[in-house]
A and B are shown apart, each in its own frame.
Chain A
């Protein structure tokens, strides 16, 4: 089981990083969402794995429980990562609507030769 969880984290991280390195906003957002899954599972797994030991206390018998602390942290992390994904989506959408392109790379104006040409043209115009 540990191997499964660890490879889940690994596969999701790899997928997330790969998508994060793409050149358009939408895959990058998907990549970050996937990466946040990976992080959540990773954090969760730091409490070690347990089966049928949900941290719901039984008042009547003595049981062992899984570690509740990482679960609490991950719970808020899931909600927060939703909030962050939403903000990213909004920024990505806004950028697309304003610039009519969803490319994420900015060409630096002072190193780009084409950029200089453009300003010269502007000056002439």
Chain B
């Protein structure tokens, strides 16, 4: 890294930091706002000036911050000659635009917003020209599209502004996407995403078979941004933006980003036939077409817009020639075009501002009314026409020189003739600009009385015109910057060229003379030509664009409305089919290894269980209309699975499955009480068959997958857990040790999810019972479903007796969990079931009265205990949830290990218990609203009292 490299970071960051300021400073007034906008720009310009001498000496300044080097992601910037020239242009013109916009915007326009957008854009643009990493460059590229969208649509009340902004975003955004693809290909060929590396690999890249796709994609990005034919149409529509924006984005900076990219990539991509024919031809067509249309535009800004299109075409053509001399001319013309075109745009802005119109047909004779503006505008237009003593002349002569000896497809006249035609048209519209606006008689029907504006408004264009004339008269002034920037473009020795007014009598001089003379003739014949133009049919770009967009919207809408029509079964079907399809693709892509495991035998009892399970599943699938039966069948499935777990060496799973099964069925039963008891048979046969087919395919796929891996061995990390469970975790039940120790973090997350699920259910129920559903529940008639004896004696007695036993079993399972099947999850579920039995036996109200703690608190305590256990590890200097344990000997019991894992498991236990109870409790609370009578007695029918009654009767 060279000295001063870090300054590049500040330069890149300043506009973005500065963008925060105007929105606030607008409260202090418009002058303060504009001044504070100028500060970051000026600062960046000063920093750039500090780096400039080194760059002009030919050094390249680099700065890099690594982020993810493995992915080629880094924030790296570099500043070479080309970057310096562009950065200076962006910041310099930015400063002038800030000044100009201060006086241009009216009091009704939100100026703070404008300056914020402007600085955002400036930062993005600056980022493009000094990025070293091409991925970073792409980000800034997209940012310019976005910020220019905001700027073009700045006058939100104007439909043209909104449409123009959308069009610009659509076109440049699409180009940006293509560019991303191209850049990624380029990075892959070069093996690096840093421009400085890519630029050294030109030959390898041009020889690569991926060169052409990369070239086309990158050119799409550059051409859309720089408004090259056939993407030129967005630029004139973007002229709905305020004039400072047009002057800044659409003449000086953003549209040059595409040209900049071509120049940047010139050493790598240029020099091939494909490059020449695509780039030079596009440029040539664009320059002639743009100039031709500009000649007939009535709107001054449209005239300038098409003139810009034409000049961008010129630059593209020059870079497309692929010769070093043409590249130098392109660099020089970039600089010249910036000065005169920005000044011209500002002139038009002044005319528009003062005369309240920019229609050429309503203007004329302004030279007497606005002498200063006249001078500025004329000087700019003469430069645009390429008249000697203005800088446009110099680069135009050199351009014609470069064009005069370019052979296109074997023809040595096509390029020179068309280039001359382009400059001829350019002369014509430039003179039209001068003559039709400023000359002619003074009219008396201007929409407003035009007069010269205050100094603030004409200062910026005047300064630019000073540069126009200075370079025009003394071309050596621009010598150093052109030399160093061209050196960066060419990436080698500079060709012979000289920046001077008189090159002697050569072909270019004759072409120039023809252009000026022809241009003047065209202007003289403008009136009949315009009539012919208006009468001629021509394609309207906006209509074509709108039709294309309309077609795209209709196409996407039809897809969306087909796939996203509000029917969840359709989404799920699409999702399932897509998953199966992807699985099939993955399967057919790679082969399978040979089976490496012995298949285990099937004992008869397992076969019976399997038949049971399949029967139950088919039963549910076909007879699910009777919901109660379906639930019973689901229970059978769950129990069969638990049995399978027992057989297949997974006692913990079996325990968990069987207790979860119980709780699930209870939950579904409770819910079913308040829902319809049958499902109507409404699916047509076709739908059923379709769903059955989808389900069958999905089932086959999953079964095949499971079978395929079950008959093959695989290396897993499980050996580690088996080896370290006792030594490192202090327990012999490896599953439990994994849960509370090895993968304690996962478990911690999972109990939190479970706790949240509990709270969600509680909250939903609370909301439900406060809504209209509560009224509906109150009025519903559930009496027919109800048994006469809701709290039967036998059940009450048995559950009371079972309660302490079940709790004991739960505690036992919990305590032994670390060494034998059991643990916090199972224990929590078992105790929850014991409590739920009391609710079932004696009813909600009776049990509720005897409840001593809230279930919410249980969840909370569980999470806190588990969390604190994890944090305790920090006190010992270990990472979160590292467990500690030791052996304790209590006399009557055998020596046993007690560790922090125990406390963690306690947290799991409490959370599971609390969550399960909260869920079922919430559901059963509905009963209170459904007109259920409250019983305070443990059972409805107490035989003891009955006997007493009978005795008293007797």
Contact = CB atoms under 8 A, between A and B. Distances in A.
B92 to A, nearest CB: 51
A49 B438 CA distance: 93
Interface residues of A, number: 89
A72 B742 CA distance: 10
Nearest to A69: B718
B496 to A, nearest CB: 68
Most buried by B among A2, A47, A58, A80: A2
Given A83-B915, A97-B773, A13 B761 contact: no
Most buried by A among B699, B754, B773: B699
Given A30-B634, A97-B773, A56 B569 contact: no
B923 A111 contact: no
Contacts of A82: 660, 663-664, 916
A76 B825 contact: yes
A1 B649 CA distance: 13
Interface string B219-257: 000000000000000000000000000000000000000
A69 B667 CA distance: 29
A89 B820 contact: no
A2 B739 contact: no
Interface stretch (B7-15, B136-144, B595-603): B595-603
Contacts of B706: 5-6, 9-10, 42, 45-46
A119 interface: no
B704 interface: yes
A13 B650 contact: no
Nearest to B736: A72
A61 interface: no
Contacts of B710: 2, 5-6, 45, 48-49
Nearest to B675: A96
A104 B569 contact: yes
Contacts of A27: 624, 630, 679
A69 B721 contact: yes
Nearest to B757: A83
Contacts of A9: 702-703, 706
Contacts of B663: 82
Contact of B703 (A13, A19, A78, A92): A13
B621 A19 contact: yes
A52 B613 contact: no
B555 interface: no
A66 B650 contact: yes
B892 interface: no
Contacts of B772: 98
A114 interface: no
Contacts of A86: 667, 757, 761, 919
Contact of B707 (A2, A44, A75): A2
A74 B735 CA distance: 10
Contact of B692 (A18, A47, A59, A94): A18
Contact of B768 (A11, A66, A97): A97
A29 to B, nearest CB: 7
Contacts of B572: 17, 20-21
Nearest to B761: A90
Contacts of A78: 653, 656-657, 660
Contacts of A84: 757
B600 A18 contact: no
A82 B657 CA distance: 10
B637 interface: yes
A26 B679 contact: yes
B614 interface: yes
B738 A69 contact: yes
Contacts of B621: 14-15, 18-19
Nearest to B725: A57
Interface string B619-659: 01100100100110010011001001101111111001100
A21 B679 CA distance: 14
B754 A79 contact: yes
A50 B754 CA distance: 30
Contacts of B606: 1, 4
A15 B617 contact: yes
A4 B757 contact: no
Interface residues of B, number: 119
A59 B565 CA distance: 61
Given A21-B694, A106-B566, A44 B650 contact: yes
Interface in B752-799: 753-754, 757-758, 760-761, 764-765, 767-768, 771-773, 776-777
Given A4-B606, A6-B707, A54-B650, A72 B735 contact: yes
A83 B618 contact: no
Contact of A2 (B568, B600, B667, B668): B600
Interface string B703-734: 11011011101101110011001100000111
A10 B722 CA distance: 30
Nearest to B823: A75
B542 interface: no
A76 B911 CA distance: 13
Contact of A21 (B569, B667, B915): B569
B698 interface: yes
Interface in B259-302: none
Contact of A23 (B634, B675, B683): B683
Nearest to A67: B718
B672 interface: yes
B933 interface: no
Contacts of A56: 651, 732-734, 819-821
Contacts of B641: 8, 37, 40-41
Most buried by B among A10, A83, A98, A104: A83
B566 A79 contact: no
Contact of A57 (B601, B602, B683, B734): B734
Interface stretch (B153-161, B336-344, B516-524, B743-751): B743-751
A45 B706 CA distance: 7
B197 interface: no
B695 interface: yes
B569 A87 contact: no
B885 interface: no
Contacts of A19: 620-621, 624
Nearest to A110: B561
A42 B915 CA distance: 26
Contact of A80 (B709, B743, B753): B753
Contacts of B549: none
A48 B722 CA distance: 16
A52 B599 contact: no
Interface in B555-591: 561, 565-569, 572-573, 576
A46 B711 CA distance: 10
Contact of B757 (A42, A48, A53, A87): A87
A85 B664 contact: yes
Contact of B675 (A38, A40, A74, A93): A93
Contacts of A59: 726, 732
B615 to A, nearest CB: 10
9 contacts: A5-B706, A11-B703, A14-B695, A18-B694, A28-B568, A30-B668, A68-B725, A72-B735, A82-B664
Interface of B: 561, 565-569, 572-573, 576, 597, 599-602, 606-607, 610, 613-614, 617-618, 620-621, 624, 627, 630-631, 634, 637-638, 641, 644-645, 647-653, 656-657, 660, 663-664, 667-668, 671-672, 674-676, 679-680, 682-683, 691-692, 694-696, 698-700, 702-704, 706-707, 709-711, 713-714, 716-718, 721-722, 725-726, 732-736, 738-739, 743, 746-747, 750, 753-754, 757-758, 760-761, 764-765, 767-768, 771-773, 776-777, 819-821, 825, 829, 912, 915-916, 919, 922-923, 926
Given A8-B613, A10-B699, 19 more contacts: A2-B707, A6-B707, A6-B710, A8-B610, A12-B613, A18-B621, A22-B691, A23-B682, A41-B644, A42-B706, A51-B647, A56-B819, A75-B735, A75-B739, A76-B746, A79-B754, A82-B660, A93-B675, A97-B674
Give 4 closest A-B pairs by Cβ, nearest first: A10-B703, A14-B699, A1-B600, A97-B773
